[in-house]
A and B are shown apart, each in its own frame.
Chain A
Amino acid sequence: MEQYLTSHFGDTIWVHILMGVPPLVFILLYALVVIYLEMKMAAHMQDRLAYMRTGWHGLLQPIADMLKLLQKEDTIPAAADKFLFLLAPYVVFIGTYAAFAALPFGSAYIGSGINVGVFYILAISSLVVVGLLMAGWASNNKWSLFGALRSAAQIVSYEIPSALAILAVVMMAGTMNLQELSAMQTGGIGHWMILGGSLPLAKKLIAVPLMLILFLIYYVSSMAEVNRTPFDIPEAESELVQGYNTEYSGMKFAIFYLAEYANLFAVSAIVTVLFFGGWASPFASLMTGPWWSAFWFVTKGMFFVSLNIWLRWTLPRFRVDQLMYMSWKVLTPFALACVVGLGLLLVW
């Protein structure tokens, strides 16, 4: 896509701006879908119906919600640090949106084909923590601050196992570019990283359980990084009102939510690229091509988003000490063991 645009516009700033549009459009459309999906899944898991009044089975409810949020009064607490308070939602959203730059939406499109791909995503999504801390601090509200502190502690702890899991996959693939990583996994389901990638069969047998554990580790810690139940202690309603975004209203609140859902897709997309072939079709050469690859990428991403929603409405919230136990005493040692095991397997 970048080549196509460059051939039309020359190497101007417009090319880069246009390259940034698809993820943004995708995030906005996806947010509408995922809000509906989440509410419907939550309701049906509890034998309820959720939205039924706006449109057929409440299909227009996300749009109605959006319009409502647009009209809401934008309040700023009198005692808030106004500058940081106003800045925080945008920092959070930028951190999330920037991560989309390195995600390969199909074989023909990637925002930025940088070689540090995953590393860049890990680094840039840490900006979200800064934004959350900003929001919590600037709100000048004890619950918000507690939420932000917990959020920061949680994200920082869970970045270690998730980074180790990514490291293991990168060791196997030999690249951090997500586009290349996806391209490596084309040619059927057997080439997906979760099934040992392109290793010879004998090595695959040992690699598969390791990859399965790594997938679980990455998936669990990515859930913690997006602050969703069972890892939602930063916004634990029953303890902290709403966490760092308690004092926000109207569009700023909406931006926090948008960032949360966008982040959810980003981590799900990373899971698909690292373990489930990215945009690669599961049927070897069947259903390939740029549009099909985009379809596979979004479908797989949405599958993991749904899985996340499913887990969210199944498991209760962790306690803070359990959260830390899980990260430092379970996920991190297992991830380390897997990295070492996989390393030995690769040099063997």
Chain B
Amino acid sequence: MNPVAEYFGDIYRGLRTATIGMRITFKHLFTRAVTIQYPTVKMKLPERARNRLYVNMDDCIGCDQCAMACPVDCIQIETIKSTPEDNLGTTSTGQKKRLHVPVFDIDIAKCCYCGLCVYPCPTECIKMTDVYEFSEFDRHSLIYSFSTMTPAEIETAKMKAKKMEEEAAAKKAAAAAAAKAAAEAKAAAPAVPVPPAPPAAPQQQKPE
């Protein structure tokens, strides 16, 4: 290319492109801003957004399936068996509640928001909410306790469960003794003694 033409061409192009750019920025000066004024105005979250977990304890049957599903073990559940005379009511799905749940802790700091705990829940009581502003100054404040039981209630539930177990164990021992006596009475010489069944331990999750 002719150097003179190139020189003037460059100048022309420089001026032209500058005006093109200025036209674009001028147009944008009057287009609507895309900014969302965050704390006052919030973006609508997608329908199935996964954020903070919530447990509706009225529906929880203490089945521990969510804790099993959790890949980071952030859910800790402890249960106490209820006695037949206790009526814990039914869940909203019509399932009968058989276990007290004195401990239902979720360490939301560990939670990875995978949502895997939500699917196995038979009563749909654990779910992801759209709350995402829950920062804390202390890490321990991020352990959420959902259990609604008071310490006194827990104590009585424990006592009752223990009593029931003892009664059951005594009954079993008595039955075993009776069976043994009967067997001995039959005088079958090399009688194998029936070992008493071990008392059923209450289903418990060990603390991490």
Residues of A in contact with B (beta carbons under 8 Å apart): 41, 43-49, 52, 310-311, 313-315, 329-330
* Cα–Cα distance between A339 and B125 once the two chains are bound (Å): 85
With both beta carbons as reference points, the residue of chain B lying nearest to A45 in the complex is identified as B25
A46–B35 CA distance with the chains assembled, in angstroms: 10
Additional A-B contact list (8), CB under 8 Å, known A52-B35, A314-B21, A314-B24: A45-B29, A47-B28, A47-B34, A48-B35, A49-B35, A310-B26, A315-B21, A329-B7
CB proximity of B4 to chain A, nearest CB, Å: 12
Q: Are B33 and A315 in contact (CB under 8 A)?
A: no
Give chain A residues whose Cβ lies under 8 Å from the Cβ of B156.
none
Q: Is B18 an interface residue (CB 8 A)?
A: yes
Inter-chain contact A47/B33, CB cutoff 8 Å: yes
Residues of A within 8 A of B11 (CB): 330
Contact, CB under 8 Å: A44 / B29: yes
Residues 111-129 of B, flagged 1 when their CB comes within 8 A of A and 0 if not, give 0000000000000000000
| B28/A45 in contact, CB under 8 A | yes
Docked complex Cα distance between A43 and B35 (Å)? 10
Evaluate whether A315 and B18 lie within 8 angstroms (CB atoms) in the complex, with A52-B37, A330-B11 already known.
Answer: yes
Chain A, residue nearest B27 (CB): A45
The reply to whether A44 and B33 contact each other, CB–CB distance below 8 Å, is yes
Q: How many residues of B contact A (CB 8 A)?
A: 17
Which residues of A are found within 8 Å of B44, using beta-carbon distances? none
What separation, in Å, do the CA atoms of A49 and B32 have in the docked complex?
9
Asked if B87 CB lies within 8 Å of chain A CBs, one says no
Nearest Cβ in chain A — how far from B15, in angstroms? 8
B2 at the interface (CB under 8 A from A): no
| Closest Cβ–Cβ distance, residue A314 to chain B (whole Å) | 4
Q: Which residues of B contact A313 (CB under 8 A)?
A: 25
Q: How far is the CA of A132 from the CA of B33 in the complex (A)?
A: 37
Known: A310-B22, A314-B18, A314-B22. A48 touches B34 (CB 8 A): yes
| A40 CB to nearest B CB, Å | 10
Distance between A327 CB and nearest chain B CB, rounded to angstroms: 13
B135 CB-CB contact with A under 8 Å: no
Separation of A314 and B7 alpha carbons in the complex (Å): 23
Chain A nearest CB from B30 CB (Å) reads 8
For residue A43, which residues in chain B have a CB less than 8 angstroms away from its CB? Answer: 33
Given A310-B25, A310-B26, A314-B25, A48 contacting B18 (CB threshold 8 A): no
Q: How long is the Cα–Cα vector from A330 to B29 in the complex, in angstroms?
A: 31
Q: Taking the complex as formed, is B93 at the interface, i.e. its CB lies under 8 A from any CB of chain A?
A: no
Residues of B with C-beta under 8 A to A52: 35, 37
Question: Could you tell me the distance between the alpha carbons of A329 and B31 in the complex, rounded to whole angstroms?
Answer: 38
Q: Which residue of A lies closest to B37 (CB)?
A: A52
Which residues of chain A are near B29, meaning CB under 8 Å?
41, 44-45
Closest 6 interchain pairs by CB? A49-B35, A314-B21, A314-B25, A45-B25, A49-B33, A44-B29
Bound state CA distance, A43 and B24, in angstroms?
Answer: 14
- The closest CB in chain B to the CB of A41 belongs to B29
Which B residues are in CB contact (< 8 Å) with A315?
18, 21
Question: Given the complex, which residues of A lie within 8 Å of B32, measured CB to CB?
Answer: 47
The answer for the CA separation of A204 and B11 in the assembled complex, in Å, is 25
Report B22-63 residues with CB < 8 Å from chain A CB: 22, 24-26, 28-35, 37
22 pairs, A vs B, C-beta closer than 8 Å:
A41-B29, A43-B33, A44-B28, A45-B28, A45-B29, A46-B28, A47-B28, A47-B31, A47-B32, A47-B33, A47-B34, A48-B33, A48-B34, A49-B33, A310-B22, A310-B26, A314-B21, A314-B22, A314-B24, A314-B25, A315-B18, A329-B7
In the complex, what distance in Å separates the CA atom of A52 from the CA atom of B38? 11
Return chain A residues, CB-CB under 8 Å to B31.
Answer: 47
- Nearest CB on A from B44, distance (A): 19
B7: A residues at CB distance < 8 A: 329
Neighbouring A residues of B18 by C-beta, 8 Å: 311, 314-315
**Interface-centre pick from A49, A314, A330 (highest chain B CB count, 10 A):** A314
CA distance A47 to B159 in the complex (A): 66
A174 to chain B, nearest CB (A): 31
Question: In the complex, A330 Cα to B7 Cα: how many Å?
Answer: 9
**A51–chain B nearest beta-carbon distance, Å:** 11
User: In B58-75, which residues have CB < 8 Å from any A CB?
Assistant: none
Distance, CA A330 to CA B28, complexed state (A): 31
Distance in Å from the Cβ of B88 to the closest Cβ of chain A?
51
* Bound Cα distance A315, B29 (Å): 15
Within the complex, what minimum Cβ distance (angstroms) separates A68 from chain B?
Answer: 21
Residues of B within 8 A of A314 (CB): 18, 21-22, 24-25
- A322 (CB) vs chain B CBs: closest residue: B14
Alpha-carbon separation in the docked complex, A46 to B30 (Å) = 10
Q: Give complex CA distance A313, B27 in Å.
A: 13
Q: Could you tell me the distance between the alpha carbons of A52 and B32 in the complex, rounded to whole angstroms?
A: 15
**Separation of A98 and B138 alpha carbons in the complex (Å):** 56
**Which residue from chain A places its CB closest to the CB of B22 in the assembled complex?**
A314
Which residue of B has the minimal Cβ distance to A313?
A: B25
A313 to B18, CA, bound (A): 11
Chain B neighbourhood of A46, CB < 8 A = 28
Instruction: Name the residue on B nearest A46 (C-beta).
Output: B28
Q: How far is the CB of A297 from chain B (nearest CB, A)?
A: 25
